[in-house]
Amino acid sequence: MKRFVYINDDSCRYSYCDNRISNTKYTLWNFLPKNLWEQFRRFMNQYFLLIACLQLWSRITPVSPATTWGPLIIIFIVSASKEAWDDYNRYLSDKKANERKIWLVKNGIHRQIKAQEIHVGDVVWLHENDEIPCDLVLIGTSDPQGICYVETAALDGETDLKTRIIPPISANLSVEQLGKVKGVVECPNPDNDIRRFDANMRLFLPIIDNEKCPLTINNTLLQSCYLRYTEWACGVAVYTGNETKSGMSRGAAEPKLTAADAIIDKLTIAIFMFQIVVVLVLGYFGNAWKYTEGLKQWYLMYPVEGEAPWYDFSIIPLRFELLCSIMIPISIKVTLDLAKGVYAKFIDWDEQMFDWETNTPAHSANTAISEDLGQVEYILSDKTGTLTENKMILKRCCISDTSYGNDNGDQLNDVRLVNAISSNDPDVIKFLLVMALCNTVVPIKSNDDTVSYKAQSQDEEALVNAAANLNMMLISKDSSTAEICFNGSKFRYELLDILEFTSDRKRMSVVVKEGQTGKILLLSKGADEALLPRACPGQQIQRYLEAAEMYSQLGLRTLCLGWRDLKESEYKEWSKNFQEASCSLDNREFKIAEVCHSLERDLHILGVTAIEDRLQDGVPETIKLLRNAGINVWMLTGDKQNTAIQIGLLCNLITSEPNSQLLSISGKTEEDILRSLERALLIMKNTSETKDLAFVLDGWALEIILKHSKESFTRLAMLSKTGICCRMTPLQKAQLVAILKSAGYLTLAIGDGGNDVRMIQEANIGVGISGREGLQAARAADYSIGKFKFLKRLILIHGRYSYNRTAFISQYSFYKSLLICFIQIMFAFLSGLSGTSLFNSISLMAYNVFYTSLPVMTIIFDKDISETTVMQYPQILLHSQAGRLLNPATFCGWFGRSLYHALVVFFITISAYSDEKSEMQELSMVALSGCIWLQAFVVTMDTNSFTYPQILLIWGNFVAFYMINLILSAIPSLQLYTIMFRLCSQPSYWISMALTVAVGMGPVVAFRYFKNLYQPSAINILKQIEQSNGSIQTSGNLESARAKLTNLLTGSRKIRDSNYHPLLSDSAESAR
């Protein structure tokens, strides 16, 4: 579909939406129904709403409806308030943007309007540092050459300035004509592709001949960008409001389900099914008791037979359903959301993850998945800018069969190269010329006439800087000309065409015309496999192949440079085809690539450049630590295979030790590649676990494998601890992540550039590095950090602690709900299975909302072992990777504990207060007190580190329980009147509490003691090592404890079972 934008035509300006931006989710009128609808889409909320509605039926409810309606309304209010606050902030942001003042030009008259009043076809006039209000086609600038500079960081995260040029059709328009221009822009319907704009433009008479002119993204100014270093610019609005490319890119990211969330959902379903069984069984026996015993009791007052025949089938089971509904904790989601929000803040506040070099803190953009960091199994990392500094320096080069670069690897100081330049060696001069001209670099002159360069690619910046240091300096450049200064003399070149770099072509070229001679030259640079096959027939390229191989083995990035003369007739014919391809609105990119291929042939290869990109500080140590933690690390890069292998050796990704082996998956044909894949798979299957195996493959091999043998490669990926994937496109990076996810592994992808965004978004966890390539990866990621070395702390410290805390909070939430529910069930056997509640409504509501919710939040600050110990023994991460703390087995332990504690509380309470003198409310309060005492000790025992907030929340809440109930006992209108006063004055009450704690916690303490003594876990041993200061009595001595710890940790991977993957897919591929 196409859009026709008529410039300065009032009759068509209302055909499309205005420029009003709206990012709000709600309106004043639809907030309540829409928010309620969204909240009730969740199963748990639907369940509790059903329970709350049933409690309104007075005939069946054993407690006041407030016990469910109260907590439910509080939860809804908290969630709705958060949504309303977020949406209000979005409204204020939209209002500020919509009411910003903008200059519009109409019939030559400049007038100021609000940004929201812009319509498609209007001509917008911008001044330096203005924010661009909508998507514009540039038609004029203050620069005589028709260029302007824009900062696109707010759109794509890239911090370097971009050059934008006016289309040739409007190059000769005066300022007066720009205000009166008429024409039409033929463009696609709105889309979110910020790197592509395939359109055409015609200007109407009398201004210019009715000629079609192709438009690209370089002729546009996109919304949210800023005009820089340009006095003014004007453009035609083509997309406005939420239809701009920026607006179409907005939208809430798909929520990610963590492994812990998946387990909690499954446990909730299991508890629900258990609850249904309990309700049916108790309902059946309740009806049976009614007929055998209940009808004989005159005081029970059952309905008369025949008046309510449905009573037997519904009333008693429904009463038990309401009584048992507390089995599923109503507050678990709010509690976990609050805890996860705090986890995210811990990451934001971590000073040890602050990058002082770039003044960049760590940031958590996704507050819901912190615990997944502690279960990461595969890390897929970009190389350039992620493992390396992305500070490119030209270190070596090979020109005309001669390699330059001294022992220090600095070609700038090589006397032979300096002499070759002084003697005007034609190949060397041409080599430097290609370095200086074949790029998209923007030279910027300062006030003192020094020249600096702005480049989208760090490689290009390194080449241009190296050429300048070798006296071939690019001093100025605009859309049509470039000026070179060589040895004090200036040379002017006309820029005829730019054949832009693409990941498919892997090269770029420029067509230039020498100002003095009029000769037309094609200058090209690109990857060796993309350029060397296009060498002119007869040229010997073996030396360049050997040079590229040698440089890549040194870990250097290589590029080949070439050129050829173009006849004017050849260029004119090609230019015509290029113009036609550029004007095509259908499949333009493919057609342009085909035309470029036809010109980039018979090249005279000039040489090879070798650029160094040093490793970041701490990368080798970080990768070693992560691998020791049981995490498999893969490197995905666009570099040559040998370069990638060398970097892999330098950063501890692979080693040269005897027990290591690197399996190459390659070949000259499809059959060779598939055979090498099967051979590598066979070797990995038959190799012992002690051998460190890795594989290496390139993008072409991966393309063939995914087409013909994806299942074999998936099995290989599951067996591989290390993978080096080179010559990868952005799509292939994302495909590799998808393969590991489909096999059921929890993946983390980390990168720093726009080409890593697809991989980052595909992974379970995306981490972006705020690097020299900009912020695009960081903005697309769940977490952003300043350096790769901070990844170890993000995973081992924040991820592991978050997982441990979430495991406890979720299972404790079920425990405290099951505890009170089991007591209710036991009481049912003393109350004729009638569904009567032991606890009053106030106690039940306070139990859910106050008494048990605050103590559990102390775990947010808990650390089972110190950060230093975690870093010293990173293998401990295997426990969280395998889901050892949150799985059906551990939940059964909590289930059993809740049942046992319920038995203890119930029988001690009944034994002490079952005589005729005791009131029902006394019995209820004693049982409730027993629950509160037990839970205080449970949380205390499971807390590993104590801080003042923890002590205050646990025991302060314990004291608050008595304070609140003493106050309630002083109110005559309440059922609790005088109850707590009487109990506190009775020795039997305090004896009952002491006995409850002793009987309830005694076996738990004893079990833990003997287990730690005779069968300690790795965490127990680490705690002993921390506490012993070199002397461990229970294990004999420190060395034996450490030896036992080593055996436990090294054996962890061998005994992984079904609990190892608490989340992931239930597909057949996930089975190992």
Nearest C-alpha neighbor of 123 from the set 52, 176, 60: 176
CA 1050 to chain centre: 30
CB-based burial of residue 1068 (10 Å sphere; 0-12 exposed, 13-18 middle, 19+ buried)?
A: exposed
The Cα 65–Cα 53 span in angstroms is 8
CB contact at 8 A, 699 and 726: yes
The pTM is what?
0.80
* Token output for 999: 């009987």
Q: What is the mean pLDDT of residues 198-206?
A: 84
Bridge partner residues of 612 (DSSP): 393
CB contact at 8 A, 227 and 233: yes
Bridge partner residues of 220 (DSSP): 137
CB contact at 8 A, 639 and 387: no
Query: What's the mean per-residue pLDDT of the chain?
Result: 84
Q: Give per-residue pLDDT as tens, 1001-1030.
A: 999 899 988 888 888 888 888 887 877 764
CB contact at 8 A, 593 and 618: no
Q: Give per-residue pLDDT as tens, 789-828.
A: 999 999 999 999 999 999 999 999 999 999 999 998 998 8
Q: What is the mean pLDDT of residues 838-850?
A: 79
Q: Is the pLDDT of residue 1066 over 50?
A: no
* The pLDDT value given to residue 143: 84
* The pLDDT value given to residue 1061: 40
* The pLDDT value given to residue 1067: 31
Q: Give per-residue pLDDT as tens, 51-66.
A: 888 878 777 777 777 7
Torsion of CA 417, 418, 419, 424, to 10 degrees: 90
The Cα 597–Cα 971 span in angstroms is 90
Bridge partner residues of 725 (DSSP): 636, 697
Q: Give per-residue pLDDT as tens, 335-372.
A: 888 888 899 999 999 999 999 888 889 998 888 889 99
Computed on alpha carbons and rounded to an integer, the radius of gyration of the chain in Å comes to 36
* The pLDDT value given to residue 1040: 61
Which DSSP symbol is given to 258?
P
* The pLDDT value given to residue 1034: 43
The Cα 415–Cα 772 span in angstroms is 32
Nearest C-alpha neighbor of 71 from the set 620, 846, 690, 637: 846
Bridge partner residues of 964 (DSSP): none
Q: Give per-residue pLDDT as tens, 390-448.
A: 788 888 899 988 888 865 656 567 888 888 988 989 999 999 999 999 988 888 887 77
Residue that is written with structure tokens 């009573």 in the block: 311
Residue positions annotated with a catalytic role: 382
* Token output for 737: 């992540």
Q: Is the pLDDT of residue 1053 over 80?
A: no
Q: Is the pLDDT of residue 254 over 50?
A: yes
Confidence of residue 302 (pLDDT cuts 50, 70, 90): low
* The pLDDT value given to residue 477: 84
Q: Is the pLDDT of residue 246 over 90?
A: no
The Cα 674–Cα 713 span in angstroms is 10
Largest distance between two CA atoms of the chain: 121
* The pLDDT value given to residue 1049: 58
| 977 three-state secondary structure | coil
Distances (CA, A) of 576 to 580, 590, 659: 6, 16, 60
Q: Number of helices and strands (H, E) in the chain?
A: 37, 33
* The pLDDT value given to residue 157: 59
Sign of the C-alpha dihedral computed for residues 878, 881, 885 and 888 taken in this order: negative
CB contact at 8 A, 812 and 804: no
* The pLDDT value given to residue 1043: 64
Which DSSP symbol is given to 1059?
G
* The pLDDT value given to residue 552: 83
Q: Give per-residue pLDDT as tens, 484-527.
A: 999 888 999 998 888 888 777 889 999 999 988 889 999 999 98
- Give the list of residues 6+ apart from residue 276 with CB closer than 8 angstroms, or none: none
* The pLDDT value given to residue 997: 93
* Token output for 864: 């089972």
* The pLDDT value given to residue 304: 55
Confidence of residue 1042 (pLDDT cuts 50, 70, 90): low
* Token output for 1003: 């076996």
* The pLDDT value given to residue 1059: 38
Confidence of residue 309 (pLDDT cuts 50, 70, 90): low
| 65 three-state secondary structure | coil
* The pLDDT value given to residue 209: 57
